[in-house]
A and B are shown apart, each in its own frame.
Chain A
Amino acid sequence: MGSVRLLDGAEIRRAVTRIAHEILERNKGAQSLVLVGIAARGDDLARRLAEEIERIEGARVPVGALDITFYRDDIGMRAEAPEVHETRIDFDINGKTVVLVDDVLFSGRTIRAAMDALVDFGRPAAIQLAVLVDRGHRELPIRADFVGKNAPTRKDEDVRVALIETDGEDAVYVEERP
């Protein structure tokens, strides 16, 4: 099975730092900003972005985790009910600018589900999207506001993001699907 490393640890770190700067620039600071990471790796990335934002701006932004399983459009199309992760948004998102954070942007269906989930928590002033890797092949009219790396891929390849918090290393791989 072929596997090519797309990003190493240092490159991920630089991408996160750059995205943190871009988020602050676009939103003219960190006031009324909240980060919501999509489980399972988006929430780790959201925490890293929050640390970077705190380092740059000296302000702590709220970080939440969102599981989109119950909002998927393919429930019942799989053999097993999809695995469920934790959702934890213990702050008010009404009137806030919510930056959704995910590891890979692909079909756009996860983000569609995440936006549906998010509006059940309140009415944000704006929703923006930050992703570590945009691999193309969108099936919905969705684009990212902040991208770590644009990576043209074939549809039959997998993009696998490994993060120290869950996988013990920082790396992004493009893998041949077995």
Chain B
Amino acid sequence: MNKHLLSINDVSAEDIVRILDVAESFREVGTRVIKKVPALRGRTVVNLFYENSTRTRISFELAAKRLSADVINFTTSGTSVAKGESLKDTALTLQAMGADAIVIRHSSSGSPYTLTRWVRGSVLNAGDGTHEHPTQALLDLYTIREKLGRFEGLRVAICGDVLHSRVARSLSFALVKMGADVTLVGPPTLIPPDAPAWGVHVSFDIDEVLPKIDVCYLLRVQRERQRQQYVPSVREYARLFGLTRERVGLLPEGALIMHPGPMNRGVEIDSDVADLPQAVMEEQVTNGIAIRMSLLYLLLGGGSEGAVADG
């Protein structure tokens, strides 16, 4: 394992299997009455969030707390950042306070990479601009493996605003790495022009793709990006690409419906579709804690050289 988790490209297929296997142990910890283990006692994890994100921050916070690490949440509103402090100075401050890991969410692609130049601890990318969101991809892989038991040859459609989606990028890279067959689905304006280079297929017709897949992964329509007119209207998007009750009928039996959240019910997914048993969004959230525990444990659980005797 690398010291940092910045991109899915940092982890090999073997690393991914190890991360998922260790997460399985942490899933078990999550079922106990006392959902906490002392593995990272005395370590400090900083959540450095330059962009709003409730679920990812809470998930990382809970993961670190269940490992007995100390957690500091550093959000931009009402802090030194609002007073104009640069990323570098914030990083140096956190470094001086002895952070063992920094979890960063930032609107600029690549900022986690920059951060690694200023801090000694591990950096975990919790979403950077339109670049990557590797922990989301890993929790999705965990959920897929748990439900379907394999990746090799698995057919996955990632539907929606792929162009702006760091989730879609990370998930595509991870699935392709594990041998799955990925198809990106959406209006041509929202499919990145370099997509074929990712090793994926592209389709502009969701009805043609749905009957041939094992997983339908829906992306959130990012309303905040709609000002630029990538699609004529949200309603038209919902009509052409939304997963309606009728479209669910096209899916093969046993196919999963996934969404990274937060969902726009009635846009990319119909409200009653989101509540179907094959829609596994709640499992994704639960698995997210276990995956982040696994990553924190694997990144911080190593350390200095020198073996210690067993027994």
Contact = CB atoms under 8 A, between A and B. Distances in A.
Interface in B33-53: 33-34, 36-40, 43
Contacts of A76: 43, 300-304
Contacts of A165: none
Interface of B: 1, 21-22, 24-25, 28-29, 32-34, 36-40, 43, 67, 297-311
What is the predominant secondary structure among interface residues of chain B facing chain A?
loop
A80 B307 CA distance: 10
What is the predominant secondary structure among interface residues of chain A facing chain B?
loop
Interface in A80-104: 80-82, 84-88, 104
Contacts, number: 86
25 contacts: A70-B38, A72-B39, A75-B39, A75-B40, A76-B43, A76-B301, A76-B302, A76-B304, A77-B303, A77-B308, A78-B304, A81-B299, A82-B301, A85-B25, A86-B28, A87-B29, A105-B311, A106-B309, A106-B310, A107-B309, A108-B311, A116-B38, A117-B37, A121-B34, A135-B311
Given A79-B303, A82-B301, A120-B37, 7 more contacts: A70-B37, A76-B301, A78-B307, A79-B306, A108-B311, A122-B33, A137-B311
B302 A121 contact: no
B33 A121 contact: yes
Contacts of A120: 32-34, 36-37
A80 B308 CA distance: 12
A67 B304 contact: no
B146 to A, nearest CB: 15
A71 interface: yes
A78 B306 contact: yes
Contacts of B40: 75
Nearest to A120: B34
A80 B304 CA distance: 9
Contacts of A169: none
A109 interface: yes
Interface of A: 67, 69-72, 74-82, 84-88, 104-110, 116-117, 120-122, 135, 137
Sort A-B residue pairs by CB-CB distance and give the 9 closest, nearest first. Answer: A106-B311, A81-B301, A70-B37, A76-B303, A70-B39, A74-B308, A120-B34, A107-B311, A80-B302
Given A71-B37, A109-B311, A87 B302 contact: no
Contacts of B37: 70-71, 117, 120
Nearest to A104: B311
Contacts of B32: 120-121
Contacts of A137: 311
A79 B34 CA distance: 29
Contacts of A71: 37-39
Contacts of A107: 309-311
Given A70-B39, A121-B33, A77 B306 contact: yes
Contact of A78 (B33, B43, B303): B303
A150 to B, nearest CB: 15
A75 B301 contact: yes
A79 B309 contact: no
A172 to B, nearest CB: 14
Contacts of B306: 77-79
A86 B305 contact: no
B223 to A, nearest CB: 41
A166 B306 CA distance: 27
Nearest to A108: B311
Task: Find the residue from A72, A81, A104, A105 having the highest chain B CB count within 10 A.
Answer: A81
